[in-house]
Amino acid sequence: MSDLKIRNATVDDAAALLKIYAHYVENTAITFEWTTPTLEEFQSRIAATLENFPYIVAELDGKVIGYAYAGKFVGREAYKISAELTIYLDKNCRGQGIGRKLYTELERRLKDSGVKNLYACIGYPEIEDEFLTLASVKFHERLGFKICGKFTECGCKFNRRYSMVWMEKILRT
């Protein structure tokens, strides 16, 4: 993993990032999105995020293998000290510490910009199945996040109902 490089994302990364994301849309309930966005829509999402928040990618030997970004936590000015985080890794690159490295860098950048509270919205299975496990919750817990809220069976994908949890990490200065 010594050749792992973390860098700023650009709109030109959209095709590679969308390829990673499409797997999760089409095969999992990790995202509650039902349809894979078009390349143009994904480019637009990246551009909008980059206007105000960090969006970073992990590259290994020149290939994009994961990404993470931050966004607004609620839309009011009072919440500007908080950010919602998102991360996706190539399905073949999970469990290798890449997610931790991406989140550590994202957290550093957000802390440097004055963000104090980090949040993650995560699909939560009441019973794990082939579409959704507790892996994301456990990943966030290892990084110091704690569950701070739960919405019971609020989403439906693949004809199954799933809950959603919010996880929180308070950055100390």
Residue 25 vs residues 21, 30, 104, 143: alpha-carbon distances, Å: 6, 8, 25, 24
Indicate the DSSP class of residue 13: G
DSSP for residue 133: -
State the average pLDDT for the chain: 95
CA dist., res. 64 & res. 99, Å (int): 13
What is residue 172's predicted lDDT score, i.e. its pLDDT? Answer: 75
Q: In 3D, which of 18, 27, 173 has the Cα closest to residue 108?
A: 173
Give residue-wise pLDDT tens across range 137-162: 999 999 999 999 999 999 999 999 99
Nearest partner of 97 among 51, 56, 139, judged by Cα: 139
Residues 55-113 have pLDDT tens digits of 999 999 999 999 999 999 988 889 999 999 999 999 998 888 999 999 999 999 999 99
| pLDDT for residue 173 | 62
Q: pTM for the full model?
A: 0.94
Q: What is the pLDDT of residues 7-21, one digit of tens each?
A: 999 999 999 999 999
- For 21, the enclosing helix (H) or strand (E) is helix 14-27
Give the CA count within 13 Å in the CB-facing half-sphere of 124. Answer: 19
Structure token digits, residue 70: 């931050």
> Could you tell me if 163 and 156 are in contact, meaning their C-beta atoms sit under 8 angstroms apart?
no
The proportion of the chain whose per-residue pLDDT surpasses 90, expressed as a percent, equals: 92
Q: Confidence band (pLDDT; 50, 70, 90) for 1?
A: low
Structure tokens at 112: 């440097």
Q: How many CB atoms lie within 10 A of CB 11?
A: 14
